[in-house]
Amino acid sequence: MANIVLIGAQWGDEGKGKIIDVLSENVGWIVRFQGGNNAGHTVEVGGEKYVLHLMPSGILRPGKKCVIGNGVVVDVMALADEIEQLEARGVEVRGRLFVSDRAHLVLPYHRRIDEARERNRSQAERIGTTKRGIGPAYADKASRTGLRVCEMLRDDFEDRVRTRVEEVNRVLRALGADSLDAGRTAAEYCAAARRLEPYIADTVVMLNEAARRGEGILFEGAQGTMLDLDHGTYPYVTSSSATVGGACVGSGVAPGMIESVIGVIKAYTTRVGEGPFPTELADGIGERIREDGNEFGATTGRPRRCGWFDAVVARQAAMVNGIRAWALTKLDVLDQQDVLKICVAYEYRGRRLEYVPADAQVLAECRPVYESMPGWRTATGGMEKYDDLPDAARAYIKRLEELTGVPVGILSLGPRRRQTVILPAAGVG
Ligand code: GDP
Ligand code: IMO
Ligand code: MG
């Protein structure tokens, strides 16, 4: 079985969880390699809806092995709760979940710093983070002041957490935030850490051995290319590498082992949080898409900003990730639109741009160059074959393929497993 990386091509929430769930049937392992519980991946199975934050979306396929890789930042209290909630719903986690001993920890003070920094920013500077402590945890990792999963196994872990909390309390006070009770915080955190001990493993060796045995690994990206720390709309990004390179760094599996890269992309665009968004619709059409697509954050419940498909963003994502095929999702959400617009390029001070500019201020000034296409005004949610789609829907898909230079390999027409059409370009079966 092949090793495949699945990457979000826009600003997150493209439907990665659903596509991972569909593809995980064909692999042995599903791996999260970056981000943390800022992610919210929704999977619908048998009429039940699951929102996964740290847990790889493959957990809902019995027998599949799931890995939280070294590149993820792990809030052990959030993970312990997530495991408990899944087990309460009858999902077996023990023996199937492995947490990298090299992963960094998100501690309670990271959340407080995240909240305080957001509060202290002006409206223009605010990032609109999920307040899960992700940025501060990755900052500690880069500063070499982070704590890692392997350290949870040391006898003096609780003392070390307590000392760290005492140190960071000075930072919290300087930010105008409440300090933490060091003793209580350390005790609570360590209680959760003990619950996770059975899951800790050297996942780097484990994954490489599985790859050598040909068991097939699916790498589950979180966030999306435009939220990537290097390739996204900095500073309005998350703090990890959500692009393809992150899969290798964040799992310890070498690039030569990766056989394919699939980009998940919505038939329109959404963004949650602040930052430039050229095709955003601040009108009734945007509201209609939000309603029809149920575009509310899976982690924070915030309404998502909605807009037309942006081929500039898609082209950039295809380039930096080497995307072989798209998994095009939520086409059904556009079923009732009369006219669809596609942004084919940007106009910036009289110049035409085909790729995303580096500076968020420049991007904020970019005006989308639109092409219009007729809508299909037909319900597509129950269609099982590509040829069943109305002509106008097929024309829309074809135009997206032309504009991005990447074929559609998977078409998603609803949240459920069976609302999925697999095309030859997917290369998966
Ligand atoms: P992720 O973060 O990329 O996994 O995406 P989210 O789970 O945050 O958001 C995607 C939402 O769209 C979820 O509620 C999915 O159940 C839903 N969804 C996924 N694919 C489709 C689709 O093709 N059509 C519709 N209508 N909903 C979909
Ligand atoms: P999934 O995996 C959409 C956004 C936040 C904010 C920025 C930084 O479900 O697609 P952070 O808390 O990471 O420091 O916030 O990134 N963001 C997401 N937006 N989907 C996500 O995850 C996101 N994870 C973070 O809204 O703009
Ligand atoms: Mg999401």
Contact present, 310 and 279 (Cβ < 8 Å): yes
Q: What phi and psi, each to the nearest 5 degrees, are found at residue 409?
A: -105, -25
Q: What angle do CA 385, 390, 393 make, to 5 degrees?
A: 95
Would residue 359 show up in a list of annotated catalytic residues for this protein? no
Contact 8 CB / ligand 1 (< 6 Å): yes
Domain ranges of the chain: 4-101+202-426, 104-199
Q: What angle do CA 17, 223, 312 make, to 5 degrees?
A: 110
Indicate the pLDDT class of residue 299, thresholds 50, 70 and 90: confident
Residue 38 CA, closest ligand 2 atom number: 24
Span 347-375, pLDDT tens digits = 999 999 999 999 999 999 999 999 999 99
Hey, which of 37, 42, 43, 220 would you mutate to test ligand 1's pocket, going by the most ligand atoms within 8 Å of its Cβ?
42
Residue 18 CA, closest ligand 1 atom number: 19
Averaged pLDDT, 341-345: 98
Indicate the pLDDT class of residue 108, thresholds 50, 70 and 90: very high
Strand partners, 6: 220, 262
Contact 332 CB / ligand 1 (< 6 Å): yes
Look at residue 300 and tell me whether its pLDDT is greater than 90.
no
Q: Which long-range contacts (CB under 8 A, 24 or more apart) does 183-186 make?
A: 185/107, 185/108, 185/109, 185/161, 186/158, 186/159, 186/161, 186/162
Indicate the pLDDT class of residue 426, thresholds 50, 70 and 90: very high
Ion ligand 3 neighbours, Cβ < 5 Å: 13, 40, 298
**Which residue owns the Cα nearest ligand 1 atom 17?**
415
Would residue 41 show up in a list of annotated catalytic residues for this protein? yes
Contact 414 CB / ligand 1 (< 6 Å): yes
Q: Could you tell me which residue, 301 or 255, shows the higher pLDDT?
A: 255
Look at residue 429 and tell me whether its pLDDT is greater than 70.
no
Q: How far is CA 161 from its chain centroid?
A: 29
Counting residues of the chain whose pLDDT is more than 70, the rounded percentage is 100
Span 154-199, pLDDT tens digits = 999 999 999 999 999 999 999 999 999 999 999 999 999 999 999 9
CATH of range 104-199; options 1.20.1250.20, 3.90.1150.10, 3.40.350.10, 1.10.300.10: 1.10.300.10
For tokens 């890269």, the residue is 261
Between CA 427 and CA 378 the distance in angstroms is 29
Averaged pLDDT, 323-346: 98
Averaged pLDDT, 32-56: 97
Averaged pLDDT, 233-259: 98
- Ligand that comes closest to the CA of residue 17: 1
Cite the DSSP H helix spans in 72-181.
76-88, 108-120, 134-143, 157-174
Q: What pTM, to 2 d.p., does this model score?
A: 0.98
Domains 4-101+202-426 and 104-199 share a fold: no
Options 13, 75, 310, 332, the catalytic residue: 13
**DSSP-derived pairing of the beta strands 325-329 and 260-266:** parallel
- As a CATH number, domain 4-101+202-426 is 3.40.440.10
Contact 304 CB / ligand 1 (< 6 Å): no
Contact 229 CB / ligand 2 (< 6 Å): no
- Ligand that comes closest to the CA of residue 418: 1
Contact 135 CB / ligand 2 (< 6 Å): yes
Averaged pLDDT, 408-424: 97
Span 247-285, pLDDT tens digits = 999 999 999 999 999 999 999 999 999 999 999 999 999
Residue 13 CA, closest ligand 2 atom number: 10
Options 21, 41, 53, 140, the catalytic residue: 41
The confidence score (pLDDT) of residue 183 equals 98
Between CA 306 and CA 272 the distance in angstroms is 9
